[in-house]
Structure 1
Amino acid sequence: MTQPPVTCQVCGRGPDPATEGDPPLAWVLDTEAGRRRWTCPGCARENVRAIEAKLDSQWW
């Protein structure tokens, strides 16, 4: 079973195409409503307080 392509849940950006396999370590993975959701480093920096407070993504 193949995994869907990794894209940022906030901006829609994907990881650098030069990196194959798992997304880079700087990407944030969370699970919301049973779904895996990825956040790129830029969006994670902008929303770090909401992420650490474990707010639903609708709040940020």
Structure 2
Amino acid sequence: MTAGSSPVATCFRCGVSRSSVSDLEFLAWSSERAGGGVRWLCQVCSKAHVRDIEGKLPDEYWR
């Protein structure tokens, strides 16, 4: 990482990297602030866990 650059967004569920998807696909990603940082969910994980996200269930219930 160079000075002034930000870390690459990575899905915290499946590990897919922002750099591996198109700009259009990245628009469907979700983010949340947790533990002083930002966690990202790719479009696939967001869709699979939409009820858990909307219900604000803790991560351990997502399995």
Runs of 4+ with deviation above 6 angstroms: none
Report the Cα offset of residue 2 of structure 1.
Answer: 2.1
Aligned-pair RMSD on alpha carbons? 1.8
For residue 39 of structure 2, give the secondary structure of its aligned residue in structure 1: strand
Higher Cα radius of gyration = 2
User: How do residues 15-54 of structure 1 correspond to structure 2 at under 5 angstroms?
Assistant: 15=18, 16=21, 19=23, 24-54=26-56
Identity of aligned residues (%): 36
- List gaps (5 residues or longer) in structure 1: none
- List gaps (5 residues or longer) in structure 2: none
TM-score (norm 1): 0.75
TM-score (norm 2): 0.72
CA distance in 2, matches of 1:53, 1:33: 19
- Number of positions where the alignment pairs a residue of Structure 1 with one of Structure 2: 56
